[in-house]
Amino acid sequence: MVKSLKITCVVTGKSTTYAGEFLAKKIQEYGNEGNLIKFYVSKEVKALLKKGYKIKDIKKILDIPADIDDLPDAVIKEIEKEYQKTSYKTTDTNSQSLSTITELTYDRSDTDVETFINNFILKTS
């Protein structure tokens, strides 16, 4: 294993050098050294991805110069998938998934709450 490695963020083009245990931790986080080099994103990019921003938006927010190469779509999808927020929002109020979430999030012992959820959220009556 290498002692230190200079890695470039695939979104911003900024380089960071990792060494020792921290390098080993990063390689383990990405699966292998090749994936680390191919998919590495800086801390600031990772934070924005976790907030739900797409890579094209992050480039605008961080004012990334135009000379930074665009990533292949496959790499963008892989990175965004890795840090994508899980959302339980849905426009289909009759969906089974919303019904399941609702059943897990309230106690049926309060009939007023159950009536409210059924009438106004799930609209089952």
Tens of pLDDT, residues 53-109: 888 888 888 888 877 778 888 888 888 888 876 555 545 555 555 555 555 554 555
* Sign of the CA dihedral running 93, 96, 97, 98: positive
Contacts of 36 (CB under 8 A, 6+ apart): 5, 7, 26, 27, 29, 30
Q: Quick check: 121 pLDDT over 60?
A: yes
- Domain map of the chain by residue range? 4-83, 87-125
pLDDT value for 96:
52
pLDDT value for 8:
92
pLDDT band at 17 (very low <50, low <70, confident <90, very high): very high
First to last CA, the chain: 64
